[in-house]
Amino acid sequence: MALSKFRQKIPKPSEQAIPRRRYQRSASGLTVGAHLFGFLAIILMLVWLLHYRGGLDYDSDNSDRVFNVHPFLMFFGFIFFAGEAMMAYKTVLSAHKVQKYVHAMFHLIALCSGIFGICAVFKYHDMNNIGDMNSLHSWIGLSTFILYCLQWVLGFATFLFPRASERTAIRIVPWHMSGGRALLYLSICAALTGLTQKSTFLGVEHMLSHRELNLINFTGLSILLFGIFVDLSVALARYVVAPSLLLLQTDNHLHRGLIIMAPKSSSYQISATPVTIFAHLLAIAITTLVLIWLLHFRHGLALNSSITEKILNVHTLLMVPIISAAIMAYKTVPGKRNTQKMVHLILHFLALVAIILGIYAAFKFNHESGIPNLLTLHSWLGVITISLFGLQWLFAFFAYVFPGAESSARGNLVPWHTFVGMVIFLLAVCTAEAGLLERFLFLSIGRTQETLIINFTGLLIFLFAASVSLSVLLPRLY
């Protein structure tokens, strides 16, 4: 009897179709935006390589032309086609099976392009007697490509041939999607660190004009926006009308058409607890390595010192912010929801203050060293990140704390607040990686213990970012 009453309250399929269609229109608009930024990045990169860098030719005797094949293939061939593969389920108007094969084919094209791109940079190193795998960019790039290959092989074996059982495939789907999205951001970060490395080398050799530097920076921003729009179009697939809210709508307790993030976290079949513990251990390890690096190798920290490097070290330390602790507050802080919300808000505010102080230290270092501000891609990313972070905090404060929006409006804002927060966090991670690489290149320290500390710190930051992101997806208890 109770079951029959429950079924009577469930809206008809036609009632659910309206928000579904609205989601599909939103996803289509985002794929258009992704393509626009993708094509813009390709055009800017071609202008850079053909006009400023002499063209690209894998078989040329000019090593610079050989190298230019690497950035072109790693974006257009690898990142762009990987993004196309992720959007195939939105852009290919055909049956699901056809979309799946197109998805796999685009990923295979990206894989082959990545192989040729990596071969090009190794050939360039051989032509100039440069050692391989020295920089953080090379570590990030190779790690990304290896993980991408494993992801493709696992996806092919699970969903195409020989194919896993339906039950196993259903269990793997959320991990496959999350892994793909993580690899997208990892590849974007590898591209941004690569552009940072190339522009730094050219700047040190006094072969870089201000126009070319701006072109490189705008190319990096276009690549970043391409990745964000691709990820957002995929993330919108998680927006559905929650059945519990639809039942409330039939009783006129909520406005019709309210959309929230579907509670799919249980499909991962693991709780967030072990992941958050692991993330905190990684945070401790990262902080320890940074302190060892700055105190033992880089003369310590001080906001006022005749040794300007000490001032820059304050910037480096404070850019390991507590934003991640705020993101995980809902999974780590015991207590009621309001308590968790206040802890989340306070930790974000402390992170905001720490970042502002860190940026002040960087500007002070530049001023005392006679270095112009906001020249590099790292500095552009940093200012964009802190600006977005500040706006996100203010918007959330007014929406959820004071004066507070209506409950229906807050419900609609929650998934967007979560997604934008994670994008800003991952943008901060990319900025940190670019900063570590830029500092390493300016120091010109070669293969030393300090190099290993910097590179391992960069890899741990990535592992930490993946752990924090996963903790957001997982339920507190399973």
Tens-place pLDDT, residues 271-288: 778 889 999 999 999 999
Confidence of residue 213 (pLDDT cuts 50, 70, 90): very high
pLDDT in tens, 134-161: 899 999 999 999 999 999 999 999 999 8
Q: Let me know if residue 250 belongs to a domain.
A: no
Statement to judge: residues 47 and 148 lie in one domain: yes
Across 1-15, 227-241, 436-450, least confident range: 1-15
| pLDDT confidence band for 458 (50 / 70 / 90) | very high
Domain presence at residue 7: no
Higher pLDDT, 78 or 20: 78
Answer yes or no: do 96 and 218 share one domain: yes
Residues 176 and 323 occupy one common structural domain = no
Answer yes or no: do 278 and 417 share one domain.
yes
Inform me whether the pLDDT recorded for 248 exceeds 70: no
d(CA 193, CA 140): 9
Structural domain range at position 184: 29-238
Whether the pLDDT of residue 256 is over 50: the answer is no
258-268 tens-digit pLDDT? 333 344 555 56
Q: How far apart are CA 376 and CA 388, in angstroms?
A: 19
Task: Dump pLDDT digits (tens) for 401-430.
Answer: 888 888 888 888 888 888 889 999 999 999
| Cβ–Cβ < 8 Å for 76, 42 | yes
pLDDT number for residue 266: 52
Q: Measured between alpha carbons, how far is 62 from 230 in angstroms, rounded to an integer?
A: 36
Give the chain's mean pLDDT.
85
- Boundary residue ending a domain (192, 219, 238): 238
Higher pLDDT, residue 1 or 432: 432
Could you give the percent of the chain with pLDDT greater than 70?
86
How far CA 104 is from CA of 76, 79, 92, 166, in Å, comes to 17, 14, 13, 19
Number of alpha carbons in the 13 Å side-chain half-sphere of residue 74: 28
pLDDT value for 139: 94
Q: For residue 168, what are the contacts with CB-CB under 8 A and spacing of at least 6?
A: 158
The single residue listed with the structure tokens 């090593």 is 63
Over 70: is that where the pLDDT of 249 sits? no
Please provide the distance, in angstroms rounded to a whole number, between the alpha carbons at the two ends of the chain.
30
For the chain, what is the domain count?
2
- For 301, phi and psi rounded to 5 degrees? -130, 145
> Is there a single domain that holds both residue 218 and residue 336?
no
Q: Is there a domain that residue 20 lies in?
A: no
Give the pLDDT of residue 267: 58
- As a whole number, mean pLDDT of residues 28-38 equals 90
The pLDDT-based confidence of 333 (bands split at 50, 70, 90) is: confident
6 is a domain residue? no
Domain assignment of residue 341, yes or no: yes
Q: Percent of the chain beyond pLDDT 90?
A: 55
Confidence at residue 252, expressed as pLDDT on a 0 to 100 scale: 41
pLDDT at residue 16 tops 60:
no
User: Which is higher by pLDDT, 2 or 468?
Assistant: 468
pLDDT of residue 443: 85
Last residue of a domain, one of 215, 238, 261: 238
Q: How confident is the model at residue 10 (pLDDT cuts 50, 70, 90)?
A: very low
> Is it the case that residue 6 has pLDDT exceeding 50?
no
Reduce the DSSP state of residue 261 to 3 states and report it.
strand
Q: What pLDDT, on the 0 to 100 scale, is given for residue 264?
A: 52
- Of the listed ranges 73-77, 172-176, 303-307, 332-336, the least confidently predicted one is 332-336
Domain co-membership, 225 together with 352: no
Confidence (pLDDT) at 463: 92
Asked whether residue 396 carries a pLDDT value surpassing 80, the answer given is yes
Is 12 within a domain?
no
The CATH number of the domain holding residue 209 is 1.20.120.1770
pLDDT on residue 292: 95
The DSSP-derived string for 315-345 is HHHHTS-SHHHHHTHHHH--S-HHHHHHHHH
Tell me, yes or no, whether 162 and 38 share the same domain.
Answer: yes
Q: At residue 255, does pLDDT exceed 70? A: no
Written as six digits, the tokens of 144 are 């990304």
DSSP state of 78: I
Give the domain-ending residue among 238, 255, 285: 238
| pLDDT value, residue 367 | 92
> Which tokens is 71 given?
């950035």
Q: Is the pLDDT at 58 greater than 60, yes or no? A: yes
Whether 462 and 367 share a structural domain: yes
The model's confidence at residue 240, banded by pLDDT at 50, 70 and 90, is very low
**Does residue 280 share a domain with residue 203?**
no
Tokens encoding 70: 């690497």
Q: How confident is the model at residue 477 (pLDDT cuts 50, 70, 90)?
A: low
From CA 259, how far away is CA 235, in angstroms rounded?
A: 14
Pick from 147, 72, 148: nearest CA to 111 = 148
Q: 238 falls in which pLDDT band (50, 70, 90)?
A: low
Q: Are residues 112 and 213 in the same domain?
A: yes
Residue at 284 is within a domain:
yes
**What is the pLDDT at residue 208?**
78
Average pLDDT over residues 296-322: 88
Phi, psi of 162 (to 5 degrees): -80, -5
* Per-residue model confidence (pLDDT) at position 330: 84
Does 248 fall in a domain?
Answer: no
Q: Find out whether 142 and 114 touch, Cβ atoms under 8 Å.
A: no
Give tens-digit pLDDT for 159-201. Answer: 998 988 988 888 888 889 989 999 999 999 999 999 999 998 8
* 277 and 231, same domain (yes or no): no
CA 344 to chain centre: 21
One domain, residues 388 and 322: yes
pLDDT: is 110 or 265 the higher one?
110
* Poorest-pLDDT segment among 176-190, 304-318, 327-341, 391-405: 327-341
